[in-house]
Structure 1
Amino acid sequence: MINLTNSALNAVQTAISGSPDPVDGLRIKVEAGGCAGYQYRMGLVREGEPDDTVIEREGVKLYIDNSSHELLAGTTIDYVVAVQGSGFTFDNPNAQSSCSCGKSFG
């Protein structure tokens, strides 16, 4: 299960409602790359893929592909507003290491 904090949920709802194109939800995936081995990718999508895991919270659908699901299990996603910049953060219990920016893990 992937968890969204209320702050992250509000940020996603705002992005969906502000999109000029029809949006069904948010895709979250893990790809090889970044300075620690894997990197997080997120983006609004019109529809999910047939083999996606779909998690819904308060009307927001999260689409996670099968290869990313295991790497994201138990992750909490937050949206933080800070002086250094605002953005999503990931608290991933599967990460054995992470880079200082928090956007990649190993």
Structure 2
Amino acid sequence: MINLTDSAVSAVKSAISSATQPSSGLRIMVEAGGCAGFKYMMGIDNEAKPDDTVIERDGVKVFVDTKSHEYLEGTTIDFVVALEGSGFTFDNPNAKSSCSCGKSFS
């Protein structure tokens, strides 16, 4: 299961409501790259693809492809507002290490 905090749910709802294209949820993916081997990718999307896992929390749908899901199982996604900047953070129990930006892991 992938978890979204209340703050993350609010941030996603805000992004969906201000999108210029019709959107119904958040797509989360893991791709090769970044400074630690893999990187998190996110964006709003209109619909699930046939092989997606769809997770819903407080009216927010999260679309995750099968390959990414194995890397994200148990991850908690938060949205943090801090002096250094605001953004999504990933607490991923599957990551052996991560870089200082928090967007890349191995």
Q: Which TM-score band (shorter chain)? A: over 0.9
Hey, what's the Cα distance between the residues in 2 that align with 1:76 and 1:93?
9
Q: CA deviation at 1:54?
A: 0.2
Distance 2:4 2:59 in 1: 12
Runs (4+) of structure 1 moved beyond 6 Å?
none
User: What secondary structure, in the 3-state scheme, does the structure 2 residue paired with 1:88 have?
Assistant: strand
Number of aligned residue pairs:
106
User: Does residue 8 of structure 1 match 2:8?
Assistant: yes
TM-score, normalised on structure 1? 0.98
Q: Which residue in 2 is equivalent to 1:91?
A: 91
Give yes or no for the alignment of 1:101 onto 2:96: no
Letter aligned with residue 49 of structure 1: K
1:63 aligns with 2:63: yes
Where do 5+ consecutive residues of structure 1 fail to align?
none
State, as a whole percentage, how many aligned pairs show the same letter.
69
Counterpart CA distance in 2 for 1:79 and 1:59 is: 17
Shift, 1:89, TM fit:
0.2
* 2:10 alignment partner, SS class: helix
RMSD, matched Cα: 0.5
